């Protein structure tokens, strides 16, 4: 299996653009990654990477070899899955991504129970509020809020999540309580903004008497971490737009207060994305089924204060 392991290391190095990142991903040392890639280069008689101090990029030969290596690894996974006893012996690794807040509250707590039921399956969870490239990063599953337009992926709805606008009592005492979306865009309020790479403007879509209304909001505070926005809201910095289940406990305790009750944000769908071929893998189906059923229960429990 040493050649196959070398292929896995090479593919992850290309996916992640770094030998050190590939080492962390494969749970080996950077020296092992360098050695395995060196073995491949010696075997093939070509250089696979252009190495700089900042980035690792495949050479022309490396790009060609990468496409073939991915096909080989996919074929091995499918062959192993075909002969596995799914009910008793599912095995292998699953690469999963999720937004920070959602991942911490819903997905991460379920992984130990999944591991207990399926001890031969390793779940490698990546949490980030940035937009992930499922195919480019070699992910098996990505949990997302909203409905991305990517025809290369399959989507399975998990649960519809109500959203809420809320702020700390101290903030509302100082700035007043907005009643509608129009109050937010008149410059009187600080909206706490979730920044994604490439974002040029911020829009909150709220319910209106004649249907959804998109409001271009602004504010002096922005972050790419949704939990940071919640912390800022608790500190009295402004108004945050969050899934209700994430802040329900703060609302019950009075640390945050709902605003714009007559024109709340539209609900957002929690879904999982996965490449078409991945769902053929029994361990992927097992994980999606396991987490989907329990995510719905976890959202209901958070809303009920359990």
Query: What's the topology of domain 88-160+268-306?
Result: D-Maltodextrin-Binding Protein; domain 2 (3.40.190)
pLDDT at 85 (0 to 100): 55
**Cα–Cα distance for residue pair 128/187, rounded to 1 Å:** 30
pLDDT at 229 (0 to 100): 94
pLDDT at 139 (0 to 100): 87
Q: What is the CATH number of domain 1-83?
A: 1.10.10.10
pLDDT at 124 (0 to 100): 92
pLDDT at 228 (0 to 100): 92
Q: Which two tokens stand for residue 27?
A: 């749970």
pLDDT at 81 (0 to 100): 67
SS3 percent helix, strand, coil of the chain, rounded to 5, is 45, 25, 30
pLDDT at 151 (0 to 100): 59
Domain 163-266 annotated CATH 3.40.50.720: no
pLDDT at 180 (0 to 100): 86
Phi, psi of 90 (to 5 degrees): -65, 140
Q: Which two tokens stand for residue 237?
A: 């910095």
Cβ-contact 179, 260 below 8 angstroms: yes
pLDDT at 30 (0 to 100): 87
pLDDT at 241 (0 to 100): 93
Which class for 164: exposed (0-12), middle (13-18), buried (19 or more C-beta within 10 A)?
A: buried
Residue in the block written with tokens 């009187």: 188
pLDDT less than 70: residues of the chain? 1, 53, 81-88, 147-152, 186-187, 196-201, 277-280, 306
**Cα–Cα distance for residue pair 150/154, rounded to 1 Å:** 8
Fold match between domain 1-83 and domain 88-160+268-306: no
Could you tell me the residue ranges of all domains in the chain?
1-83, 88-160+268-306, 163-266
């Amino acid at each position: 299996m040493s050649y196959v392991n070398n292929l896995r290391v090479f593919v992850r190095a290309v996916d992640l653009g770094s030998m050190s990142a590939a080492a962390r991903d494969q749970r080996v040392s950077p020296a092992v990654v360098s050695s395995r890639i060196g073995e491949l280069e010696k075997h093939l008689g070509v250089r696979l990477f252009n190495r700089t101090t900042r980035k690792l990029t495949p050479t022309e030969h490396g790009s060609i070899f990468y496409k073939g290596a991915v096909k080989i690894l996919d074929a091995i996974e499918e062959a192993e899955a075909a002969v596995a006893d799914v009910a008793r012996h599912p095995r292998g690794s699953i690469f999963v991504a999720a937004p920070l807040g959602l991942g911490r509250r819903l997905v991460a707590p379920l992984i130990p129970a999944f591991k207990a039921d399926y001890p031969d399956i390793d779940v490698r969870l990546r949490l980030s509020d940035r937009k992930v490239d499922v195919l480019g990063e070699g992910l098996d599953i990505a949990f997302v809020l909203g409905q991305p337009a990517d025809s290369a992926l399959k989507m399975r709805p998990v649960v519809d999540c109500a959203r809420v606008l809320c702020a700390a009592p101290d903030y509302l005492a100082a700035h007043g309580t907005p009643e509608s979306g129009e109050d937010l865009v008149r410059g009187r309020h600080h909206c706490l903004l979730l920044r994604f790479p490439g974002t040029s403007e911020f829009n909150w879509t709220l319910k209106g008497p004649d249907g959804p209304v998109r409001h271009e909001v602004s504010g002096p505070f922005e972050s790419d971490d949704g939990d940071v926005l919640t912390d800022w809201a608790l500190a009295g910095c402004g108004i945050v737009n969050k899934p209700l289940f994430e802040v329900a406990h703060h609302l019950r305790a009075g640390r945050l207060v709902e605003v714009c009750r007559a024109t709340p944000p539209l609900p957002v769908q929690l879904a999982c994305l996965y490449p078409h071929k991945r769902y053929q893998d029994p361990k992927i189906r097992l994980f999606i089924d396991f987490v989907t059923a329990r995510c719905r229960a976890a959202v209901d429990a958070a809303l009920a204060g359990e």
